[in-house]
Chain A
């Protein structure tokens, strides 16, 4: 038994020398960034494609030689769709992993909980959640950016289209979570600007199984159209109820509708549903010279080949955030302050999956309503409305 320590020592030395050889082969130290996604929990429909995207991009970038020769390392933590977990995960990334920037989290609440932490740590955060308060007021959100479009922009796209259709009285139905609430606020806020009156305002829970009551009320209030603002199974149930009730007025969905899965689940009921969608889901219907087309095509096809499912709008938010950081790292190197400044000033006319970004000192999102196309479901596929 006395020999054991000696043998151990030999193995250790051998292992260490192999390790150092390996390190020397990889001449440059890796750039390490963190990612916080709601991989499990109620918001996992967001976190899942985001995480997949991050894993895929990391492999692609490293296979292509990394960033200026530095391998990219993305440390992904699951926030479980929970604010407390988001705070803990962020602390871990900042303290233990010493990341240069963080992508995510997936929901507005989680992002809001991180604002003070990121400002104290002076580390850029590129949120994948839509809520406007994440980046506003910008003066208190120095280190915070976000890649999803504003809810207001999606509402503007819908209202603009409705105006053309001569619709002026609408009923809205929203899910009782942060997503639906943000949508509701945006819908109420700018309705007067477009001469639209909201005659009924209804809600439902994320796991509710029947919304005919709410839809009946909207119909009885004399609405000319109904807007549903939600994500998850609720939007399919609303669509099915809308069809079963034969409401006779058009159904609009939010940008959360942007997944073929929803058309599959709702089946025939989905025909005629209109929604403002980012160009990611309709890339094959864009003209070839559109600045977003090439990257949308590559991203979608790579993702589908790897995961046998479509990335959807939400995976795209992570794509944009990671690519912005990667570009900044390529240009300015591993310096948190410089990365932040680069994103704020140099992300101009920058085509991403969510639209064409124009970041500035007053806008840490950089997208407006032109990021959306109005899309209708026709014969089980999307069709862009003019």
Chain B
């Protein structure tokens, strides 16, 4: 029984780590701009597919491929912000979100032409047998995904709490006018947030591809799950996104294990709704904090 339970738990952790990484990406753009960038899922796909391109197709060394993948994702994020977000002066938030949806359609189209419709995969970061704990197995790549998620959170924590740039970025979303008054270059901060979220998304994509495979149209599903994770925990808090991601992942897995696999997504969503009805701003965001933000 324990073995079976542990196996369900590990499966939930695997899936949850994926959601958590996507959720963090949403938070970065949200923290700087209040926008939900619905092209976030496409950044993840870009990460997985570009990594395949550099590592498997061009056969570059592992670390070089990682570097190139991060750079290319960063460039996509940068272009997206400069071409579609920056030209709008005093934009409406809803309009910007719709634009991110339109951009995601364009990105998916480009990915389809570049990579075709087949899924791609490459070997795990470390070769070897999966670990066995009380008879339940956990794949090595899952540990990588969880480790990378943790690493990203710590880095982002220091970035937003300890560096000047990070603090300036947060200020932009809470009150752009005030931020401008104290001499923050808001436009540059917005750009930086897009680049950063693209990079985090791509890192997630690189890490999960050996487990889940990657194809051009995986983005929307990842975006929806990551969005739910970020909302469950409370938008803007990375701790929240991670806990939200793991809760959703584990709920899905436990529902599939103990109730029925056809209902796994529904149960996770019902719990999400219930949480929102009792904590309208997610688990980790207080009411007072929520009222500071318009969205």
When chains A and B are docked, how far (Å) is the Cα of A122 from the Cα of B262?
Answer: 40
Residue A25 interfacial (CB < 8 Å): no
Nearest-neighbor residue (CB-CB) of B263 within chain A: A203
The answer to whether the Cβ of A346 comes within 8 Å of any Cβ in the partner chain is no
What separation, in Å, do the CA atoms of A265 and B213 have in the docked complex?
Answer: 8
Can you list, as one digit per residue, whether each of A19-49 has a CB less than 8 Å from chain B (1) or not (0)?
0000000000000000000001010110010
Check B7 against A216 for contact (C-beta < 8 Å): yes
Q: Are A216's CB and B261's CB within 8 A?
A: no
C-alpha spacing A207/B137, complex, angstroms: 22
- In the complex, what residues of A have CB within 8 A of residue B253's CB? 210, 213
Query: Is there a chain A Cβ closer than 8 Å to B215's Cβ?
Result: yes
A245 to B135: give the CA distance in the assembly, Å.
10
Are A176 and B262 in contact (CB-based, < 8 A)? yes
- Chain A residues lying within 8 Å of B213, measured Cβ to Cβ, are 209, 233, 236-237, 265
A232 within 8 A of B: yes
Q: Is A236's CB under 8 angstroms from B261's CB?
A: no
- Give residues of chain A (136-167) contacting chain B, Cβ–Cβ below 8 Å: none
Rounded to whole Å, the gap between the CB of B129 and the closest CB of chain A is 9
Q: Which residues of chain A in 176-219 are interfacial with respect to chain B, using CB atoms and an 8 Å cutoff?
A: 176, 202-205, 207-214, 216-217
Q: Is the CB of A232 within 8 A of B262?
A: no
Contact A202 B215 (CB under 8 A): no
Q: Complex Cα distance A236/B214, Å?
A: 11
Contact B14 A233, beta carbon cutoff 8 Å: no
| B212 contact from A42, A202, A209, A213, Cβ within 8 A | A209
Contacts of B260 in A (CB 8 A): 203
Measured CA separation A246–B262 after assembly (Å): 24
Decide yes or no: A207 and B121 within 8 Å by CB, A213-B7, A236-B213 being known contacts.
no
Evaluate contact between B119 and A236: CB separation under 8 angstroms: yes
- A244 interface hit (Cβ, 8 Å): yes
> A203 and B261 in contact (CB under 8 A), knowing A236-B119, A236-B121?
yes
The interface of chain A, by Cβ under 8 A from chain B, is: 40, 42, 44-45, 48, 176, 202-205, 207-214, 216-217, 220, 232-233, 236-237, 244-246, 261, 265
Interface pairs A-B: 4 shortest CB-CB: A209-B212, A233-B119, A207-B221, A233-B213
CB-CB nearest in chain A for B221: A207
Task: Report whether over half of chain B's contact residues are helix, strand or loop; otherwise say mixed.
Answer: helix
Contact B18 A209 (CB under 8 A): yes
Contact A244 B261 (CB under 8 A): no
- Minimum CB–CB distance from B109 to chain A (whole Å) comes to 9
Among candidates B14, B18, B256, B265, residue contacting A214 with C-beta atoms closer than 8 Å: B256
Q: Does A216 lie within 8 Å of B8, measured CB to CB?
A: yes
Give Cα A233 to B208, complex, Å. 14
Within 8 A of A (CB), among B1-33: 4, 7-8, 10-12, 14-15, 18
Q: How far is the CB of A170 from chain B (nearest CB, A)?
A: 16
Give chain B interface residues in 113-127, CB to chain A under 8 Å. Answer: 116-121
B257 located at the interface, meaning its Cβ lies under 8 Å from any Cβ of chain A in the complex: yes
A177 to B53, CA, bound (A): 30
B147 CB-CB contact with A under 8 Å: no
Flag if B4 contacts A40 (CB, 8 Å): no
A204 lies within 8 A of B8 (CB):
no
Which residues of the partner chain B approach A207 to less than 8 Å between Cβ atoms? 218, 221-222
Contact A40 B112 (CB under 8 A): yes
Minimum C-beta distance from A270 to chain B (A)? 12
**A213, B119: Cβ atoms closer than 8 Å:** no
In contact, B119 and A265 (Cβ under 8 angstroms): yes
Interface residues of B in 91-122 (CB under 8 A from A): 112, 116-121
Query: Which interface residue of B4, B117, B260 has the most chain A CB atoms within 10 A?
Result: B117
With a cutoff of 8 Å between Cβ atoms, the chain B residues found around residue A211 in the complex are: 11
Contact B256 A202 (CB under 8 A): yes
